């Protein structure tokens, strides 16, 4: 459905149009106006009207309706199609949830399509309506504000994940070595990092094109040439986010390896203790087994001190074994 629709003239919001075609023709004729339509999870029938009026490419329309896209930038004859994945962090459950935000950019119009709850569009629109200098840049200013808000929120989520990782480190390297659920927590955290990485890493290529960096020296259609420094700033922030994501991914893998190594060492210690106690139990068992064979010709059976002597020998051997194992750290 259409969440918001307005004409922006010379950086100021004006009336909501009754007819998209007439509003778009007027905006193009004036040169200082553009039309911004915001939709939330539209159906195919609801999106048909926007598609016909703005001449959106059918492939981009299909992507916008079905969602589940990677961040990307596609250039078509009459429009520019940008896919972003805003994310939210839920500290109660330590989970990262990604939404989808599609932006159609063309001559004097912007169409935004939102899927999922994670979207900063409402706040961006209110902020832009207070910054008339930004709105005067037209659709380019809207695209910059959206990408900047999404990437800046990535930085906040990366900081939250870093804090969770420090808690996991403290748990793994504590004297107890963590609980039985530590491995599952580490694996769950790694999945959250992977979900975050799916949103941030593919966005590097679209921002590089918008910033005109590397091999992408040609300007992107429907985006003003003067906006490249602003997109370079957003790209710098994204590079910081991706570096944080790479570091989180490596660290969580190292923590998982360290936890598994600690579990293996702890199991080896337990096996040594069990083996030591089994060896100590084998001494009296062996001696008792020998004297339980009922042989007739065993001279020590007729000695007066044979029973106390056997008990003393067993006790002496037990003490020797205990001190030996204790010295080696097996007990």
Angle value at C-alpha 206, between 205 and 207, nearest 5 degrees: 90
pLDDT digits (tens, 9 = 90+) for 36-94: 888 888 888 888 878 888 888 899 999 888 888 899 999 998 889 999 999 988 877 77
pLDDT band at 198 (very low <50, low <70, confident <90, very high): very high
The DSSP 8-state label assigned to residue 296 in this structure reads S
CATH 3.40.1160.10 is the classification of domain 265-327: no
Using DSSP's 3-state secondary structure scheme, residue 150 falls into helix
pLDDT digits (tens, 9 = 90+) for 166-190: 888 887 777 666 666 677 888 888 8
Q: What is the pLDDT of residue 148?
A: 92
**pLDDT > 80? residue 122:** no
Task: At 123, list the tokens.
Answer: 């706040």
Using DSSP's 3-state secondary structure scheme, residue 15 falls into coil
Mean pLDDT on 229-250: 92
**pLDDT > 70? residue 255:** yes
Q: What is the pLDDT of residue 140?
A: 92
More confident residue, 137 or 298: 137
Q: What is the pLDDT of residue 241?
A: 93
The listed range with the strongest mean pLDDT (45-49, 160-164, 323-327) is 160-164
Q: What is the pLDDT of residue 119?
A: 65
**pLDDT > 80? residue 300:** no
**CB contact at 8 A, 9 and 31:** no
| CATH architecture type of domain 2-263 | 2-Layer Sandwich (3.30)
**CB contact at 8 A, 173 and 258:** yes
For residues 168 and 309, give the distance between their C-alpha atoms in angstroms, rounded to a whole number. Answer: 57
More confident residue, 276 or 37: 37
More confident residue, 2 or 159: 159
- Closest by Cα among 298, 262, 72 to 172: 262
265-327 shares the fold of 2-263: no
Number of DSSP helices (H) and strands (E) in the chain, helices first: 10, 9
Report residue 95: phi and psi, to 5°.
Answer: -125, 150
Q: Catalogue the E-assigned strands of 201-310.
A: none
The DSSP 8-state label assigned to residue 17 in this structure reads P
Domain boundaries defined on the chain: 2-263, 265-327
More confident residue, 295 or 59: 59
More confident residue, 246 or 301: 246
For residues 182 and 262, give the distance between their C-alpha atoms in angstroms, rounded to a whole number. Answer: 12
Q: What is the pLDDT of residue 84?
A: 93
Percent of the chain with pLDDT over 70: 94
Q: What is the pLDDT of residue 143?
A: 93
Output the average pLDDT for the chain: 84
For residues 282 and 191, give the distance between their C-alpha atoms in angstroms, rounded to a whole number. Answer: 49
Q: What is the pLDDT of residue 12?
A: 86
Percent of the chain with pLDDT over 90: 23
**pLDDT > 70? residue 248:** yes
């Amino acid at each position: 459905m259409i969440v918001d629709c307005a004409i922006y003239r010379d950086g100021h919001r004006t009336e909501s149009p009754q007819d998209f075609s007439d509003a778009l023709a007027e905006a193009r004729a004036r040169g200082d106006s553009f039309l911004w339509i915001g939709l939330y999870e539209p159906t195919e029938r609801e999106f048909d009207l926007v598609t016909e009026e703005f001449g959106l490419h059918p492939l981009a329309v299909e992507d916008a309706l079905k969602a589940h896209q990677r961040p990307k930038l596609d250039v078509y004859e009459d429009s520019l199609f940008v896919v972003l994945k805003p994310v939210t962090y839920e500290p109660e459950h330590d989970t990262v949830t990604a939404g989808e935000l599609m932006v159609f950019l063309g001559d004097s119009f912007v169409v935004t399509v939102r899927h999922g709850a994670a979207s900063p569009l409402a706040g961006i629109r209110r902020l832009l309506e207070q910054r008339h200098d930004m709105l005067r840049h037209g659709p380019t200013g809207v695209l910059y504000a959206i990408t900047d808000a999404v990437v800046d929120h990535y930085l906040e989520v990366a900081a939250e994940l870093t804090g969770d990782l420090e808690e996991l480190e403290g748990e793994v390297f504590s004297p107890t070595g963590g609980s039985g659920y530590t491995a599952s927590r580490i694996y769950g955290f790694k999945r959250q990092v992977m979900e975050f990485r799916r949103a941030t890493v593919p966005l590097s290529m679209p921002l590089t094109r918008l910033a005109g960096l590397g091999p992408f020296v040609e300007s992107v259609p429907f985006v003003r040439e003067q906006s490249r420094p602003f997109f370079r700033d957003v790209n710098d922030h994204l590079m910081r986010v991706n570096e944080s994501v790479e570091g989180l991914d490596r660290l969580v893998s190292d923590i998982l390896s360290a936890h598994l190594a600690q579990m293996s060492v702890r199991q080896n210690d337990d096996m040594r203790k069990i083996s030591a106690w089994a060896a100590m139990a084998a001494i009296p068992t062996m001696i008792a087994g020998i004297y339980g064979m009922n042989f007739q010709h065993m001279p020590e059976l007729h000695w007066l001190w044979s029973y106390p002597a056997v008990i003393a020998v067993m006790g002496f051997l037990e003490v020797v074994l205990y001190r030996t194992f204790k010295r080696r750290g097996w007990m």
